[in-house]
Amino acid sequence: MRAGIFAAFVILVGAAVLLLVFGPITYVREAREFRPDPVAATAPPEIRMTDLQPGLPLPGPNPNTGGENPSWYERNAVALSEGQRLFSAMNCVGCHSHGGGGMGPPLMDDKWIYGSDIKNIYATIVEGRPNGMPSFRGKIPPEQVWQIAAYVRSMAGLTPKQASPSRPDHLQAKAPEASYPEQPPAGGLIPPSATAPQ
């Protein structure tokens, strides 16, 4: 009887310890944030690097944003999974294929022309880049751009494995992001698309 009470006590203490140790990780990884902060989402606009953009030109300036803590997106499983979905839905696959590259550079290697930080990737998507990367400013809301940027990093194994997406329910284009070893960006050869005159 006394040992039973002791056991119950040990279980409770153990649960509390688990909460304290793993809570900070799991609360980020498992969170489902449905409603982005409206204040952050209406920050002042930023510069644009290219005149290209999908669809028709915008009628005027459009609000844009940088997040307070962008690395949150790459540790959050749902943000990465949404990024994976949007990567197809927003037709990133049209040029980059499923990370292997095509008309655009591959994204699943560790060679980064404009930087591998999530903020660099965000800027690349929002501002566009010379030689074909259109600007998605005003087309994709900032929240979703962060999700796509985080997913792009997961394709190169730059996000925590536990949060990275596993296989999607389609034909298998490549191994799941979650199966890549985590790796730091090492730089490397510049792909042909970036060596053309700019």
Partner 1 sequence: MSDDVLRPMEEREAAAKLTGAWHEGEGILAWLSATGHKTTGRRFVLTSFGFFIAAGVLAVLMRLQLAVPENDLIGPDLYNQIFSVHGTAMMFLFAVPVMQGVAIYLVPLMVGAREIAFPRLAAFALWMLLFGGLLLFVSLLLDMGAEAGWFAYVPLSGPEYSPGKRSDVYAQTITFSEISAIAAAVCLITTILKMRAPGMSLNRMPLFVWASLVTAFMILFAMPSVMMASTFLIMDRLIGTHFFNPAEGGDPLLWQHLFWFFGHPEVYIIFIPALGMVSHIVEAFARRPVFGYVPMVLSLAATAFLGFGLWVHHMFASNVPQLGASFFTAASMMIAIPSGIQIFCWLATLWDGRLVIRTPLLFVFGFIFTFVIGGMTGVMLAAVPLDLQVHDTYFVVAHFHYVLIGGAVLPLFGALYYWIPKVTGRMLDERLGQLNFWLMAIGVNLTFFPMHQLGLEGMTRRVYTYPPEMGWDRLNLIATVGGVLVALSVLLFLFNLLRSLSVGRLAGPDPWGSPGLEWATSSPPPEFNFALPPVVTGRSPLWEAGEEWPVVTGLKLDQREVLITSVLDAEPDHRTEFPEPSIWPFLAAIAVGLTFIGSIFTPWAVVAGSVPVAITLIGWFWPKPGEE
Partner 2 sequence: MSAKPRAALAALALSLGGCEGPQNMLDSSGPQADTIEGLWWVMLTVTSAVWFLVVAAMLVAIWRRRVRAEALELSGEPKPHRRERSLGIAVAASVGLTVAILFAFTIYSFVLERRVFAAPPKDALEIQVTGHQWWWQVRYVHKDPSKIVETANEIHIPVGQKVTVRLSSPDVIHSFWVPNLHGKRDLIPGQEAIFWIEADRPGSYRGQCAEFCGWQHAHMSFWVHAEEPEAFQAWLEQQRRPAPEPPDDLTRRGRDIFVTGPCAMCHAISGTTASARFGPDLTHLASRTTIAAGTLPNTRGHLAAWIADPQSYKPGNRMPPTFLPPADMQALLAYLETLR
> 127 or 143: whose CB is closer to partner 2?
143
- Site map for partner 2, 75-94, x if CB under 8 A? --------------xx----
Write out the binding residues for partner 2, residues 18-47 only, by CB under 8 A: 32, 34-36, 38, 41-42
Strand partners, 133: 129
Q: How far is CA 76 from CA 65, 94, 147, 151, in A?
A: 19, 26, 9, 10
Q: HEC profile for 96-112?
A: HCCCCCCCCCCCCCCCC
The one among 146, 163, 180, 193 contacting partner 1 by CB under 8 A: 163
Q: Check residue 147 for interaction with partner 1 (CB under 8 A).
A: no
Please state, in angstroms and as integers, the Cα–Cα distance from residue 92 to each residue in 17, 28, 89, 109, 194, following that order: 43, 26, 8, 16, 18
Closest CA to 28 of 63, 79, 68: 79
Q: Does the protein bind partner 1 through residue 186 (CB under 8 A)? A: no
Nearer to partner 1, 11 or 190 (CB): 11
Stretch that binds partner 1, among 2-10, 44-52, 65-73, 126-134 (CB under 8 A): 2-10
The residue among 96, 154, 155 whose CA lies nearest residue 129 is 96
> Quick one: which of 180, 153, 145, 152 has its CA closest to 166?
180
Give the contact letters, 26-45, x = binds to partner 1 (CB under 8 A), - = no: xx-xxxx-x-----------
Decide: is 171 part of the binding site for partner 1 (CB under 8 A).
yes
Work out how close the CB of 117 gets to partner 1 at its nearest, in angstroms, rounded to a whole number.
23
- Looking at the Cβ atoms of 62 and 162, the one nearer to partner 2 is 62
- State the greatest distance between any 2 C-alpha atoms of the chain, in Å, as a whole number: 80
Binding site for partner 1 (CB under 8 A): 3-4, 6-7, 11, 15, 18-19, 22-23, 26-27, 29-32, 34, 77-78, 80-81, 84, 161-163, 165-172, 175-176, 178-179
